Structure 1
Amino acid sequence: MIIADDSAFMRKLLSDLFTQQKDFMVIDTARNGKEAIEKIRELKPDLVTMDVNMPIMDGLEALEILMKECRIPVVMISSLTKTGTDATIKALSLGAVDFIEKVSGPISSITKIQTEILEKCRAAVTANVRNYLQASSLRLYPPATVLKPPNPTYTKFPVDVNIFKKGVNGLDGEKIIAIGTSTGGPRALQQVITKLPRDLPCGVVIVQHMPAGFTKSLAERLNSLSDVEVKEAEHNDVVAPGKVYIAPGNYHMTVELQGRSRVIALNQNPPLSSHRPAVDILFDSVAKLGNRVVSVILTGMGSDGAKGMTKIKSTGGYIIAEDETTSVVYGMPKAVVELGIADQVLPVDQIADVLVNVVKK
């Protein structure tokens, strides 16, 4: 692997961490993006960690070149500033597999995230970078004009839309889309959310594993690229048609019934399987809506969401899982598929059209 960072301290800290592991070998380091590109071309590493902010050529410029030339797994190193979080979200949309929040302060503070660094880099090495980049064609910048909603295309898996026409428990039949994702999620969400039409007749709730601060930047970016309105969820938001709500980092998100309204509730209960927000907690909360729920599990490591989807299935909801060919990390979707509860298993670029078809009938 190659470590690219303009900070000599960070280069040494990361080098020392990785050289202590049997499954990593640091073959070189770079002080800026230009130097990183030259060394990557020459040495052809299996993994790169890339600082976002570097002189001469920053991490975004270098990443864009890498994704066009060799498409190797890249994990970004980012600071928790408005500029840093925005750049990180853009990096993820360009093809970076994941990111690590740069921690400032004493060595004791930095060593606390060593497990996270190793976990994310190990997942990145196995990431399906080439396939998911080939499978996607993204709108990377805000549209100059309002785009016409896409015409639904039917997949080879038939969808029985009749099961969604009636509500349960005497409530109305308005549907809700619930999505869960982790590693590779920002790019996958961009594939799905930017294809949803402005007149989508239901709301969308999303849990993306991501620290506080970064989820707001993700919501803002998706909002700038989409015809639906996308925002970071707030406590007591009423879920409305044509609107997308992303759980804020460090908060669990649930959907509660208040009369005939679905209202978002946020809490800081303990992390579930080290995640806050957790997909399982969101899915468990929407399961009470029965056959009005259309749930989607996208790329991510681990199995968060599988238990919640089992409950959704038991109450009559519909389940879509991203397939292996487009998943950056085929962990969370695989857990659902192996349980045998997925109604459809689809490449990410087909999911939005199926959602539109289902919720508009």
Structure 2
Amino acid sequence: MNRFIPILFLILSAILIPQSAAAASREQCFRETGYCISGPILTYWTRNGGLSTFGFPISAQRTEMAEDRMLTVQWFERDRLEIQADGRITAGRLGARYLELQGRPWQSFPTVAQAAPGCAYFAITGHQVCEPFLSYWRTRGGLERFGYPITERFDEEIEGRVYPVQYFERRRMECHAELAGTPYEVLLGRLGAVVMAIDGCVPLVIECEPTAYAYRTLLGCPLATSRELVLVREIGLREVPIAVQRFERGMMLWVRQFGGAAMSPGEIFVFVLDPVDPQRLIWQRFADEWSEGVPTGIAEPPPAGLYAPERGFGYLWGRNADVRARLGWDIEPERGETGGYWRFQRGFLLSHPSTDRVFIVNDGGVAYYVARR
């Protein structure tokens, strides 16, 4: 019986070893992110541009809800690849999804009635595609890879710089003038990384503070431990003393350093309207240097129907000519109350209970003051 073992081993080796080698060849791993690509997704990834088109994998293959269907998907820096029920590989509609997550659905963008010379027109969405995006669209996969255009070309700030961009159903194309004349003049946005990060925290945002859901691209995910999230669900946002005062061209917000000790110094946020986008506010932060009994230093009487700010607001307003010029006079008395604070990756949310509104404050200097949803 033992004499057959070497023969059996050789037979099994002939069968199994080639299969194992073939299986290994269908997997490619990246130490940069720690994830591997395999199977039909690897085949699609390789045939359609690989690293330069999709970027590194940023998740393992997993089952997710995608376009109202449960599919096997894998996320990449610039895309989400999906295995459909019939085995086809498709790219996720991340261009449309990203705009939706920002609260600016593609249907809200202005359309055109016809194409300009040298451009292609898509009546189904009412948008045209012009150079250099048109050549890239046509030579890199067209409708199957990118979908229809869902915006016109416009300028958008991305990671601190402004680029001409155009959104398609599945991608965002970016024109990089600094790379003009090279194959990289048109690049694809990192929508895979952005959308995966935002969608990953959506359940937490919805459960704990629905208003943050509409602004999660601005704030990122909530920063809290599991226990803190439970407390937020049960008793609301963390309580902090606040005071708010409205001015002719903006407002001031005083906060007791987000729930610090009773005697801790406060901070004052100055909000003024963004001259480009009237929906947005631009903010500055100042230490509250006023103490009880110290005069504000405001000598000029306010115009009829307006007010001179008092206490910490008045002390800052009276001593800072720039703040004074930007805000104008106070239009209503200061209101103090208890608000609710929640910190996120890129800013914070602060409720203003008396008005049933919230401040959405991004660390980059942008803010919104909106009704709770």
**TM-score clears 0.5:** no
TM-score (norm 2): 0.23
Structure with a larger share of its residues in helix:
1
Q: Which has the higher contact order (CA 8 A, sep 6+)?
A: 1
Normalized per residue, the structure richer in strand is: 2
Q: Highest Rg: 1 or 2?
A: 2
